[in-house]
Structure 1
Amino acid sequence: MGQTLARSVIGGLLWLAAASLLATTASAQTAGEGLSPTLSAIKKAHTVRLGYRESSPPFSFLDQANRPIGYSLELCEAIVEEIGVEVDDPNLKIDYVKVTSDDRIDAVLQNKIDLECGSTTANAERGKRVAFSPLMFVAGTKLMVPKAASVQQLTDLKGKAIVVTKGTTNEQAIQAADKKYALGLNIITSPDHEQSYQMLVDGKADAFATDDILLFGLIARHKAQDKFRVTGDYLSYDPYGIMFKKGEPQLAAVVERAFRKLGSNRDLVPLYNKWFIARLPTGERLNVPISLQLEEAFKAMDDSASANN
């Protein structure tokens, strides 16, 4: 009788253990199946693919060892950490994928990257195709010209050559201004910011138009303060964000949560200072103080995080 009871108890415990294991497995499968497409693919591959730019300092660029670094990439790495929490994989790997201003949106749409960590303007037109993180920077189109040039505004370039990087909002801004003021500009496009800068250096263009912060970054990186200057009124308003796949509320919530955590820990301003005020790993220093607009946006994220806690 005692042996029979013991066998029954052991059998019952084994059954409970087996049932528990099956339930856990089923729960894990359900959790995996319940993830949005991007998060599900990340969980399966144990990898997040980050799109980076080669010459958009200090947002996304290469260090002396040709490794991708920058402000945007650090923000993306914080998002990767939050994705790890969401998919229950704290050891996600990062695969860095090079993108350009021209192919970055397609890279997101065609599932070649999971997050685009560059210097991308979040505007309504792009918002129809892709999603964006909360605001991480505010820039605007200005001109880089030789220091000795008499150019002060875009209208001073009437009939002259101006280079823009293909696929940027700056290209659109210059085309619109050219049409509006009948300037007869010779608008040249190049594949990336470094090549646009080189065209100005080589005298193939009279000015290079892109976001002011990128112009300052290129001048600092090339130690060209004695050769070039940034001038002109803002020709566009360009709020930056991390780009990712549209139509995935779960992924959007993870991105938002990562920014809120950075805000609640008061990490956003120190992170900004690391890349815009302090000396960069590549040696140069931008010395661009945080704008009131961006500081207010960061404070709003902090307040939002506090309210949700």
Structure 2
Amino acid sequence: MMFAARRPSRMRTALVALATAWLAGSSAHAQELSGTLRKIHDNGVVLLGVREASIPFSYFDGHGTVGYSQTIALAIVDQIKKTLGLSELKVREVAVTSSNRIPMLQNSQIDLECGSTTHTHERESEAAFSDSFFQYAVRMIVHRSSGISDFPDLAGKAVVTTAGTSDERLLRELNVDKHLNMRIASVRDHSDAFAALKEDRAVAFVMDEPIVYGFKATDPHPDDFVVTGTPLGYEVYACMFRKGDAPMRELVNGVIERMQTSGDAERLYNVWFTQPIPPHGINLNFPLSAAMRALFAHPNDRALD
């Protein structure tokens, strides 16, 4: 007995057509992607460079990575997930230091870094930078009892800074230009530098003003230290990603610009700089400056050096 082949229902036909169209569209979308976004789409993972002790920007609080710029980074990751249409996107945090963050970016060991990286003209030959999310002065932290108030007071003395930073370059230039004969030590990370100051292996720790305020505020004896010195210069922090990646630049800047012009960035700033922060509930008491307010009103990616 012969049976006629069952004809597919209209609903089944429609579902097959819809699935085929979706797959075709998804494939076409993937083919249109390039650079970092293509890499993230294909792997389902974003490699996020994080700092361990850049308080209050990106640091480990005993449970995970937190901070002002870490929050910005996670907002960017969320936008990447939405842009790529992914139901899930794994975030793999990779600890970086001032010395290795650029090589790790160039070697694709990280895809994005929003910590406390200064955007300088020199670094533009090695990496791409987003719109700035923080503007600051370069100063120093010293023991209150040291009698040191400005950089000429450091002549002939041991001074510490963090290796691979723009601050190290500024400090060494000052040493040569002003013939100060400082004994400059460059250490692995900010926490190592502050430890050198606390243990009297150096009389001053020269670094970005908000970083040294962070160490002062979180020390068990904050009144033992003072942040001082005529600024060596003014600089900006930005997120960092690989050069020549226009789609990534557009996405990252879009997130930062929306945060800044909507008021979200100022609210985020207040959380991390004017209120108690983890893990010890210390308040940095570092109000928003006029320069920062102007930056939020007019987002830009200009280096200040």
TM-score by length of 1: 0.90
Does the aligned pair in 2 maintain the 1:36–1:251 contact within 8 Å? no
1:154 to 1:21, Cα distance in 2 relative to 1, 3 A: same
Deviations 1:2-50 (A, max 9, x none): xx9x96xx59987776555434322211211211221112112222221
Q: In structure 1, which of residues 123, 134, 137 is the aligned counterpart of residue 134 of structure 2?
A: 137
Supply the distance in 1 between the matched residues of 2:14 and 2:282 (Cα, whole angstroms).
63
What is the alpha-carbon distance in structure 2 between the residues aligned to residue 13 and residue 278 of structure 1? 58
Q: Secondary structure at the match of 1:242?
A: strand
Q: Provide, for residues 253-290 of structure 1, a one-character-per-residue CA deviation record: whole Å limited to 9, x for no partner.
A: 11011123323542111000000001002211101011
Q: For the structure 1 residues 119 and 280, does the alpha-carbon distance in structure 2 shift closer, same or farther, using more than 3 Å as the test?
A: same
Deviates more, 1:12-21 or 1:210-219: 12-21
The structure 1 residue matched to 2:115, chosen from 114, 118, 124, is 118
Query: Hey, what does 2:145 align to over in structure 1?
Result: 148
State whether residues 82 and 257 of structure 1, in contact with CA within 8 Å, keep that contact through their aligned partners in structure 2. no
Contact 2:134 2:238 in 1 (8 A): yes
C-alpha distance after superposition, 1:165-184 (max 9, x if no partner): 00000100000000110111
Aligned-partner residue type, residue 36 of structure 1? S
1:240 maps to 2:237:
yes
Q: Offset at 1:64?
A: 2.7
Q: Which amino acid aligns with 1:101?
A: S
2:192 paired residue number:
195
How many residues align structurally? 295
* Cα deviation, residue 238, structure 1: 1.4
Counterpart contact for 1:81–1:90, Cα < 8 Å: no
List alignment gaps of at least 5 residues for structure 2.
300-305
CA distance in 2, matches of 1:260, 1:142: 28
5 Å-filtered alignment, 1:167-246, equals 167-246=164-243
- SS of the aligned residue for 1:156 comes to helix
Q: Which residue of 1 aligns with 2:33?
A: 35
Cα distance, 1:202 vs. partner? 1.0
CA distance in 1, matches of 2:221, 2:50: 24
The alignment status of 1:273 with 2:270, answered yes or no, reads yes
Q: Deviations over 1:146-204 (max 9, x none)?
A: 10112111111111110010000010000000011011111111100101011111111
The secondary structure found in structure 1 opposite 2:223 is coil
User: Which ranges in structure 1 are unaligned for 5 or more consecutive residues?
Assistant: 302-309
| Counterpart for residue 125 of structure 2 | 128
User: Over aligned residue pairs, what C-alpha RMSD do you find?
Assistant: 2.1
Q: Write the distance in 2 (CA, Å) between the matches of 1:13 and 1:193.
A: 63
The farther-off stretch of 83-92 and 13-22 is 13-22
CA displacement 1:97-143 (0-9 Å, x = unmatched): 10001101111111111111211111111112111121111112111
Aligned to 1:305: none
Aligned equivalents of 1:264, 1:81: Cα separation in 2: 19
Residue 224 of structure 1: how far off its partner (Å)? 3.0
Distance 1:11 1:54 in 2: 59
Deviates most, 258-267 or 55-64: 258-267
Instruction: Report SS of the residue matched to 1:136.
Output: strand
Match of 2:303 in 1: none
Given that 1:197 and 1:208 are in contact with CA atoms closer than 8 Å, whether structure 2 keeps it comes out as yes
User: What is the one-letter code of the residue matched to 1:72?
Assistant: S
For the residue of structure 1 that corresponds to 2:132, the secondary structure is coil
Between the aligned partners of 2:282 and 2:162, the Cα distance in structure 1 is 23
Cα 1:20–1:208, aligned 2, differ >3 Å: closer, same or farther?
A: same
Normalising by structure 2, we get a TM-score of 0.91
